[in-house]
Amino acid sequence: MPKFESQEGYLVLESGEIFCGQLFGDFERAGEVVFNTSHSGYEEMGTDPSYFGQILVATAPMQGNYGVDREVWESGGIKISGFVSLEIQNTERESGWLTRLLENQVPVVTGFDTRRLVLHLREKGTTWGAIVKAENSKMASSQGRQMIREGKSLPQDWMVQVSAPGRTSFTGNIPKGPRVALIDFGCKSNIRRIIERSSSEVALFNCKTSAVEIQAWEPDGIILSSGPGDPTQVSNDVLGELRTLLGWRPIFGICMGHQVLCRVAGGRTFKLKFGHRGGNHPVKDQRTGEIYVTSQNHGYAVEPDSLPKEIVVTHTNLNDQTVEGVEWSARKCWGIQFHPESHPGPRDAEKLLVEFLERLR
Amino acid sequence: MPRIENLKKVMIFGSGPIVIGQACEFDYSGTQACKALMKEGLEVILVNSNPATIMTDPEIATRVYVEPLKVPFVSRILEQERPDAIIPTLGGQTALNLALDLDRSGILNELGISFLGADPATIRSAEDREAFCHILDSVGARYPKSQMVRTFEQGLEVAEILSYPLILRPNYTLGGGGGGIAYSLEEYKTKLVTALQESPTSEVLVEQSVAGWKEFELEVMRDRRGTFVVICSIENVDPCGVHTGDSITVAPQQTLTDCQYQEMRDEAKKIINAVGLTCGGANIQFVVDPVTGERLVIEMNPRVSRSSALASKATGFPIAKIAALLAVGYGLDEIQNDITGTTPSCYEPALDYVVTKIPRFNFEKFPEVNKLGVPNDLLSTQMKSIGEVMAIGRTFKESFMKALNSMEQKDLSYEGRSSLEERLSYPNSRRIHWIFEALQEGWTIERLNLLTQIDVWFLEQFADLVQIEENLTQLDRNSLLRAKRAGISDARIARKTSLSEEEVWKRRRELDLHPAFLKVDTCAGEFASETPYFYSTYWGDPKDYLRRSTSSERDRVVVLGSGPNRIGQGIEFDYGCVRGVKALQRRNWVVAMINSNPETVSTDYDTANELYFEPLTLECCREVFHHIGPKGFVAQLGGQTAINLAGGLVDSGYSMLGSSLETIDLAEDRARFAKICREFDFKIPPSGFAGDLTEALKVAQQIGYPLLCRPSYVLGGRRMEIIENQDELEGYFQRSSDEVSSDRPALMDFFLEGALEVDVDLVRGKDWVVVGGVVEHIEAAGVHSGDSMGVLPPQRLKDETCVKIEELSSQLADRMNIIGHLNLQLAIKDDQIFVLEANPRSSRSVPFVVKSTLIPLVDLAVDAMLGLDRIKVQPERYQWKEMTSVCVKGVVFPFNKFPGADIVLGPEMKSTGESMGRGKDYAEALLKALLSSQMTLPLKGEVFFSLRDKDKDALVEVAKELVTMGYALSATPGTAQFFGDHSLPCIIVRKVHQGRPNCVDRIRSGKVDFVINTTSGRLAQEASFSIRRSCIDYRVPCITESDAVLAFLVALKKHRSGEFEVSPLPARLMNH
């Protein structure tokens, strides 16, 4: 197991809080600081484009225990800007987690009381932060604030930045199955893998693709993918294109895709205080009474009152009663806020995606 | 989904006496369930034969029946109570088996009583291996290749198909009783015989061993609607091959990838649904091939279990409570998460810490098991541990070392001849210490992994720990912080740095290095939690986690718990602690509990006002005290563990409630104590000390034989032996050389042979005394008080002696200035009263006395400690002699788990649990106590006798009566001759060394229905060992003490009459 040297380093929050720990890597990065309560799944989280630009705090203290393997990654590379946990091991599978993070210039801070950080984020809400090297906390503070200012001044349409260009096609496992257009707002690979299992072909479209182009490909159904950031950063142009697709073919939105779908329908979203990130959120299907334990990763949610009357809230988060799913039956549109593709997290809700795909046949 | 309609009255079963594999976790689960259902407004009827439980306190349920968990008795209760339903899933395997028996008997059908939680079909499909494998096939789950064996011959055929090593798993036994691993045909044959015997259905699953695979367990819950959640994943540090109860385990699982874990979760869900568990908790065990990742299912239990108790304490999710509410119809989403108070229970707890459980063994009590040539503490698929500790830390290292510190065991050095390699090569109770030793000697992780098959990840953690310890040369802030963050105790640091523990503690204080107390909140900080369930960690700054104190805050008092269960200190002390907490709260105190035992009621987050799940070491208790600044603390409820902490805590400036250190010292210092006793009319057996044999021979000359010898400073009568002559004395000193020396001399008492022993439990306040009762032992002096049966009120003690005992005991309590509990062990011989022992604390017998006399002794002890006077307490209200029933305490032993152990009782305690029989007379109480302690009472058949000479005259009357009752007698030649002389017909059977077939063959062949075998002296005992052992192995009742024989006869007659009554305890303890 390759060992790496660490040095004293800091996590500086925009609110002024400073945490001093052990810094691995000779890099400094800023980003939104979010925490995830899953016990396992660091490699899936770290490569999930939805975490693009964020500093990910794992509440589970022991990370890196079982190494990493590209086979389970959720995109081509590591997407987070920083990783924070109480301890990190560099156990090797195909490679080690720490090794991979450092190869990808992702700084890692460990060795400090991460629970205090989590309690702070819970109480004060999600905030920006920066991982910095510095001689002392005072210098760290000014340096960190500077980095945060710079980071925040950059465009925040991250879903556009991570969206793959043009169109990429993948062959599905069912030759007679439906053709599925997957609109990429920062799609996790496992969404695509699941679609592949029930379709003849999947095409991943850049999120700015015009409706005409999508229609020209003649999909049987459209899936709007998950992705990073604030759904209000999705431009009116993009929303407009999608609006023309409403009712043309069935649409299924996942996470960011669900929020975009609601915006297309005229709904509004709001920022949650500290988001939902973990693998243990109970969601109730209001139609059947069924409860799933879900994989979640979102910082925004849909305002139920903003939705047009014909859109029904089908799923509710039982922890805070926020909207977790909608149905617009007249237009054959469905959206769910959580992740049926899991990775990481429980797979209870995978059937929602599979059922949608089966309806396309 | 609301509660089931028309449900008004439910019955819950406890799990009976504590045995290996079924300990106080079922007190925890039953108590939680009763409380939850009572709160629902249901009538709750509880049946349990174990008096040492909290759940059998009358206030816990609507009506509590302390009756045998057997069909005839429970049927009678069902007829009286007519509940709407029974919930069989909360009292362990005992309750499940009872429920199946009741179902078979037809009574439930007849009375229209339904099952809640799990129905008989579900129980059978999970318990019956063949049916279970069928279910696994149906959901595509894989399991080790195996075959069900019903006869010895069939077993041999199966062994030819499967390859060794083979695992034997008897059906319907708890803790894998009677099972094991066989590496060769010879070993297989021996184990198959036992396994077939152990299974009540004579069915044994023989399966291919997956020893060395990684083992995991999922604790899951499901409601009627099908909502499924995993409460906790648990990973075994020891690879497969060691019973999970004997394995060091960690939660949550550490080494599986998310994909592997989710696949396991999905499979668990499918299995639970396929088994048909409508609602409740269950656990499923998996093994994973460390190389290929292949996953197999090992077993599932459709009930609350030992691991669900652990999972509840590890996560803060109260599984038993929720299981009870699910059983009566609620959905998981309708039950609030108590800890957060805002979110529902249909979620999976997220942990931001690591939990380690380490089992606690008592192999030293059964040294005989060496005889079979098997290593003394070999671990296998049959559970052998008596108790366990749990510790919480922010990292694995911190949690693991805290757990190790909680064990209350000295560092275990090894003095045998076997090499380190050999000791590491098989699973044993001290292997973790050998791993540390190997790492210190520079072994590589690869080499250790090859030998132990423990996952590399864990070995790396251990290597880190060894490294941290070795780098600890000086105590600067950084190195010290590093060590403390790795959970290394001050005591260990002191050893590494050649300082005293006190010096390390001082150094830490200078550096202001204290732990922070973090909350167990079920959600890794995601939601606010007000529940004060804490653990200490050096990964936090205490300043960030200051106690929120409000002006309205009342004074705090700490109750010290009793730590891991062990023989001699078990659930009885948790009873005292919990009852004490409640009594203190009633007197308006805010109570903080410290304990390290996850099985207990005292470590429930809603027992005390604050729970500190911490090792019961001076260091950790001091840190808790430093953090909360209590007004005082209570040590006398937590057994010897808590008493041992008292001195250090008082020295640190904290005040102890109740009897002072001076009083404790008075009881412990033999010389001072003897002097006081002499002031009264109490006798003390003549005694002396000897550091070696020469001194011992001199002492023996002065005192005379027989002698009772024991090393100083031991608990539970460890190495205590009765010495009849000089030869034996020489032998004793040879065997005890490791524990006896001139500075640790052996204590030698004159042994009061044939004396009647009694336990007295009393409580003294500043100007009052309440005697709780005088428990008369059924066996004569020489049997440890924890191992002898007892009866209340006394049956043989003369009234005037009893009055005198009460008077003298009260006077002694006054003289010792006891405040609170005092337990006295007395012996009565020739009308003289001897004091054997005084314990200035709650005792093992307190719960039995409370349940028998209904005097709230613990509550009174709390009143005493709080200084209430006689006007307030009105002690004259409590008259134990006014009790209307007779109560007998029965005893349960773990001999069947220790092959090679002898069952002769002596001064060293060996029992794990107790039962209680309540009756209108002695015979009824005795019968119930015996039946509850797993004794069978054969109604007819052959009785085999083998008696020592001095018992022959006394027992010839018994033999006569047995003949009159229609039993046949058989005996070895000497005893047979004696019976012949008394004109008793008797079959003569050869002694073991007189050729074959001999008496052991006769027992093994099933011809003998019960055995009476008395013996004394080491040699005679060794000669008759195989008789008794065959009784254990073949489940033939065997009585080894003459007074116990008389009692057995009384019970037998009662049993043959078929008459008995059942009655609930009164609705509450005496008005208090």
Residues A148 and A164 grouped into a single domain: no
Out of B256, B527, B541, whose CB is closest to A113?
A: B541
Tokens of B612: 């500190």
Contacts of B541 in chain A (CB under 8 A): 113, 116
pLDDT in tens, B425-457: 989 999 999 999 999 999 999 999 999 999 999
Residue A2 within a domain:
no
* Closest chain A CA to residue B256: A66
Last residue of a domain, one of B193, B209, B225: B209
In a domain, B508, yes or no: no
Is residue B468 in some structural domain? no
The pLDDT of B640-664, averaged and rounded, is 96
- Residue A137 falls within a domain, yes or no? yes
Asked if residue A139 is part of any domain, the answer here is: yes
**Are B694 and B795 in the same domain?**
no
Q: Which helix (H) or strand (E) holds B836?
A: strand B832-839
pLDDT at B125: 86
Domain end point (choices B914, B929, B961): B914
Q: Which of A1, A37, A89 sits opposite B524 (nearest CB)?
A: A37
A230 shares its domain with A111: no
CA atoms within 13 A on the CB side of A122: 17
Task: Tell whether A230 is covered by a domain.
Answer: yes
Question: B-chain residues within 8 Å CB-CB of A283?
Answer: none
CB burial readout B601-625, b (16+ within 10 A) else e: bbbbbebbbbbbbbbbbbbbbbbbb
pLDDT in tens, B758-777: 999 999 999 999 999 999 99
Confidence of residue B364 (pLDDT cuts 50, 70, 90): confident
- Into how many domains does chain B fold? 6
A321 and A210, same structural domain?
yes
Residues B653 and B539 in one domain: yes
Which of A153, A178, A193 is where one domain is finished? A153
- pLDDT class of B167 with cuts at 50, 70, 90: confident
**Positive or negative CA dihedral for B534, B539, B542, B546?**
negative
Structural domain containing residue A245: 159-359
Tell which residue, B128, B139, B85, B141, has the closest CA to residue B108: B85
> Which chain A residues contact residue B269 at CB under 8 A?
348
A11 and A144 co-located in one domain? yes
Model pLDDT, residue B171: 79
CB B129 within 8 A of CB B169: yes
Q: Indicate which of A56, A63, A66, A277 best probes the interface with B, i.e. most B CBs within 10 Å of its own CB.
A: A66
* Contact status, residue B459 vs residue B449, Cβ threshold 8 Å: yes
> In terms of Cα–Cα distance, which of B312, B356, B318 is closest to B338?
B318
Confidence bin at B222 (pLDDT 50/70/90): very high
Which chain A residues are within 8 Å of B252, Cβ to Cβ?
39, 60
Q: Which residue type sits at B50?
A: N
Calculate the CA A11 to chain-centre distance.
Answer: 22
Are residue A182 and residue A326 in the same domain, yes or no?
yes
- In a domain? residue A229: yes
Is residue B940 included in any domain, yes or no?
Answer: yes
The residue among B218, B237, B256, B257 with the most chain A CBs within 10 A of its CB, best to mutate, is B257
In-domain check, residue A131: yes
Tens-place pLDDT, residues A177-224:
999 999 999 999 999 999 999 999 999 999 999 999 999 999 999 999
Same domain, B44 and B188: no
Please name the residues between 243 and 262 in chain B that touch chain A, using a CB distance below 8 Å: 252-259, 261-262
Kindly identify which residue of chain A lies nearest to residue B456, measuring between CA atoms.
Answer: A91
A243 and A177: one domain?
A: yes
Q: How close are the terminal C-alpha atoms of chain B, in Å?
A: 40
Please indicate, yes or no, if residue B274 is contained in any of the structural domains. no
- Which of B343, B396, B523 lies closest to A37 in CB terms? B523
Angle at A334 between CA A328 and CA A340, to 5 degrees: 160
Q: Same domain, yes or no, for A280 and A346?
A: yes
Are A39 and B225 within 8 A, CB to CB? no
Domain membership of residue A270 (yes or no) is: yes
Predicted confidence (pLDDT) per residue in B224-233, tens digit: 999 999 999 9
Q: Is residue B29 part of a domain?
A: yes
Claim to verify: residue A296 and residue A164 sit in the same structural domain = yes
A73–chain B Cβ distance below 8 A for any pair: no
Residues of A labelled as active-site residues = 255, 339, 341
Q: Are residues B764 and B863 in the same domain?
A: yes
H helix runs in chain A, sequence order: 42-47, 97-103, 114-124, 137-153, 158-162, 189-197, 211-216, 236-245, 256-264, 350-359
Domain assignment present for A301? yes
What average pLDDT does the structure give for chain B? 92
Domain of residue B578, residue span: 516-657
Q: Mind listing the pLDDT tens digit for each residue in B528-546?
A: 988 899 999 999 999 999 8
Please say if the pLDDT value at position B547 is more than 80: no
Q: For the domain that residue A172 is a member of, what is the CATH number?
A: 3.40.50.880
| Alpha-carbon gap, residue B929 to B920, rounded angstroms | 13
Say whether both B875 and B990 belong to one domain.
Answer: no
* pLDDT tier for residue B363 given thresholds of 50, 70 and 90: confident
Listed residues B894, B914, B934: the one ending a domain: B914
Residue A244 to residue A231: CA distance in whole angstroms: 19
Question: What residues in A contact B237, CB-CB < 8 Å?
Answer: none
Diameter of chain B measured on Cα atoms? 85
Query: In this structure, are A145 and A203 located in the same domain?
Result: no
A302 and A173 fall within a common domain: yes
Q: State whether B258 and A115 contact (CB < 8 Å).
A: no
Q: Is residue B901 located within the same domain as residue B759?
A: yes
Q: Cis ω on the peptide bond leading into residue B165 (within 30° of 0)? A: yes
In a domain, B313, yes or no: no
Instruction: Supply the pLDDT for residue B551.
Output: 45
Question: A146 and A179: one domain?
Answer: no
- pTM for the model stands at 0.95
Greater confidence, B348 or B711?
B348
| Residue among A44, A282, A284 minimizing CB distance to B258 | A44
CATH number for the domain that contains residue B590: 3.40.50.20
Beta bridge partners of B768: B765
Per-residue confidence (pLDDT) for residue B886, from 0 to 100? 98
pLDDT at B898: 85
Which one of A132, A153, A174 terminates a domain?
A: A153
User: At B166, which CATH number?
Assistant: 3.30.1490.20
Q: Are residues B770 and B726 in the same domain?
A: no
Residue contact B333–A291, C-beta within 8 A: yes
Residue A41 and residue B258: Cβ atoms within 8 Å? yes
Cα distance between residue A277 and residue A257, in whole Å: 17
Q: Which of A1, A59, A343 sits opposite B350 (nearest CB)?
A: A59
Residue B809 lies in a domain: yes
Chain A residues within an 8 Å CB radius of B524: 37, 59-60, 115, 118, 278
Confidence tier at B416 by pLDDT (50, 70, 90): low
**How many angstroms separate the Cα of B776 from the Cα of each of B2, B601, B808, B1014?**
51, 29, 16, 21
Quick check: is B1011 in a domain?
yes
Same domain, A78 and A200: no
- Whether residue A118 and residue B255 make contact (CB cut-off 8 A), yes or no, is no
Cα–Cα distance for residue pair B234/B215, rounded to 1 Å = 9
Of A62, A280, A318, the CB nearest to B350: A280
For A331-349, what is the mean pLDDT?
97
User: Which chain A residue has its CA at the smallest distance from B251's CA?
Assistant: A39
Q: Under a CB-based contact definition with an 8 Å cutoff, are residues B307 and B314 in contact?
A: no
Closest approach of chain A CAs to the CA of B929, in angstroms? 47
- pLDDT tens-digit map of B243-271: 999 999 999 999 999 999 999 999 999 99
Residues B742, B767 within the same domain:
no
Q: Quick check: B176 pLDDT over 70?
A: no
Regarding whether B814 and B761 lie in a shared domain, the answer is yes
Q: CB–CB of B257 and A66 under 8 A?
A: yes
Residue of B nearest to A44 (CA): B258
Domain end point (choices A153, A179, A208): A153
The yes-or-no verdict on residue B1017 having pLDDT over 80 is: no
Query: Is residue B907 domain-shared with residue B761, that is, in the same domain?
Result: yes
B349 near A CB under 8 A: yes
Total number of domains constituting chain A: 2
Same domain assignment for residues B906 and B950:
no
Residue B807 contacts residue B604 (beta carbons within 8 Å): no
Contact B103, B25 (CB under 8 A): no
pLDDT digits (tens, 9 = 90+) for B271-326: 999 998 889 999 999 999 998 999 999 999 988 999 999 999 999 999 999 999 99
Tell whether B985 and B866 lie within a shared domain.
Answer: no
